Amino acid sequence: MFDTARWSVLAPLLQAATAGRDLLDDTIRRLTPEAVTQVVLAEIGDVKPDVRLELHFDGETTSHLNTANELVVALHLTDVVRVLFGTEERWPSLAVRTPAGDLDADPRTWFAARNGIGQEVDALLSALKAPQQDLGSLAVAFGSDKWGDLHWYTQHYERHFARLRTEPVRVLEIGIGGYADPDRGGASLKMWQRYFRRGLVHGLDISPKTVSGPRIMTIQGDQSDAGFLDELGRRLGPFDVVIDDGSHLNEHVRISFHALFPHVRPGGLYVVEDLQTAYWPRWGGHPEAAEGTSTGMLKSFVDGLNHAEVRDPRGGGSYTERNISGISFHHNIAFVEKGLNAEEGGPEFLRTLN
C-alpha cells in the first residue's frame, strides 16, 4: 500500500544536491549514474527537445533523448543535479556541438538549415532549470482552486512556505481532487511538485487516482482512519508539510490532525483548508465553531500556546500544547507550526498579584 522503495534514489539525491561536489559525486556513485540519469530524464518529462543530451560522469559518456541527433548538448551529470535540485544558477561547464550540414551548399542555405538550433538547446536547458513562478501563477497554470474562483489561499501559502521552498521537503496533501473519477484531480499535487523543486509530494484520496509525476506519489485511503494515517506517517514521513484539503467534515479534520501532527517534523507546518465548514451544521459544524468542530480544535490550541500560564508553569502539558509553537488564521485557512513550546510560565507572585 505504501511504495516506500519509490524514493530510494530520489530522497538521498535531493538531500545531496546542495552538498559540496565531492559529497554529491560520492552520492551519485553510490546510487549509480544510471539511476540518477533516470531521475534527470523523468524531470525533463514531456518536454522532448530535438537534441542529443550527452551526460559525462567519472570519464564515462552516455547519450539520451534523441540519441541519433547531431545537435548535442554535453553536460556533467553532477552539474545537472546541482542545477535541477540544488542552488547552482549557471552551467559551470556546457558544450554544444551542432550538425555539420551540407558543406557544399550555398552559405545562405547552410545557415538557413540551422534555424531553430538555439530554441532546441534552450528548451532542454529550461526543462532542467524551470523558472521560479509564484504560487498564484502555478495554481492557475495547473488548474488548482487554491487561487481563483472560491479560494484565494496561495498568498498565505507563499508567506508560510517561503523558507521551505528550496528545501528537500516531504509534503502530504489529503484530498487529490476529482472525487470518484480516477482520471481527474491532481492539480495541487502538480503545483506543489513545481513549487518545491526538491520536494517529494504525496497525495491521499479515498478514491484511486491515476495522476503521476516524477516526484508525486498517490495513496488511496480514508482520512478518518487514524490507524491507517499513523502507519502512513511512519512509512512515508516525517513530513515538513501536511495539508488537509479532503472531505472537510469536522470529525475527519480532527481525526486527521491528531493522527498526523506527530508525523510533522519540528519546524514543519500542518495546514487546514476550508474552515468555513466549522460553522455549517451539515458538515458537523456549529454556528459558533464550538468545541468538537475543526476551528474549535484550532481555537483550543491558542490556549495551549499559553498552557504554562494556566497550569504547571514549569513543564507538563499535552502533546499539542508542548509541540505547537504558533498558529496563523486567515479567511477559511489556518497554519499550525510545529516547534518547541517549552518556555516557562510567569512567576507565581505575578499570577496572584492584587
Ligand X SMILES: C[S@@+](CC[C@H](N)C(=O)[O-])C[C@H]1O[C@@H](n2cnc3c(N)ncnc32)[C@H](O)[C@@H]1O
Residues in contact with ligand X by the rule CB under 6 A? 144-146, 173-179, 185, 187-188, 204-207, 222-224, 245-247, 252
Specify the DSSP element, H or E, that contains 125.
helix 117-128
Distance of closest approach, residue 68 Cβ to ligand X, in angstroms: 40
What's the CA gap between 95 and 27, in Å, rounded? 24
CB 69 within 8 A of CB 52: yes
Contact 166, 198 (CB under 8 A): yes
Q: Which helix (H) or strand (E) holds 74?
A: strand 72-76
- 8 A C-beta contact, residue 43 and residue 32: no
Buried b (16+ CB within 10 A) or exposed e, 123-156: bbbebbeeeeeebbebbeebebebbeeebbbbeb
User: Considering the complex, what minimum distance in angstroms separates the CB of residue 114 from ligand X?
Assistant: 43
CB of 209 to ligand X, least distance (A): 8
The length of the chain in residues reads 354
Active site residue 286: no
CA distance 205 to 175: 5
Cα-Cα end-to-end distance for the chain: 61
Which one, 37 or 277, has the nearer CB to ligand X? 277
Do 184 and 190 touch, CB atoms closer than 8 A? no
To ligand X, the closest distance from the beta carbon of 259 in angstroms equals 12
CB of 261 to ligand X, least distance (A): 17
Distances (CA, A) of 49 to 37, 52, 64, 119, 126: 17, 9, 11, 9, 10
Q: Which is nearer to ligand X, 25 or 245 (CB)?
A: 245
- Residue 82 or 146 with smaller CB distance to ligand X: 146
Calpha distance 113→109 (Å, rounded) = 6
Distance of closest approach, residue 286 Cβ to ligand X, in angstroms? 20
Between 50 and 225, whose beta carbon lies closer to ligand X? 225
Burial of residue 17, with CB atoms counted within 10 A of its CB: 0-12 exposed, 13-18 middle, 19 or more buried: buried
Pairing of strands 264-272, 170-174: unpaired
Least Cα distance to 215 among 6, 56, 25 occurs for 6
- Residue closer to ligand X, measured from CB, 204 or 232: 204
Q: Which is nearer to ligand X, 247 or 293 (CB)?
A: 247
Active-site hit among 76, 151, 156, 248? 248
Residue partners of 230: CB distance under 8 A and separation at least 6:
259, 262, 263
Q: What positions carry a catalytic annotation? A: 248
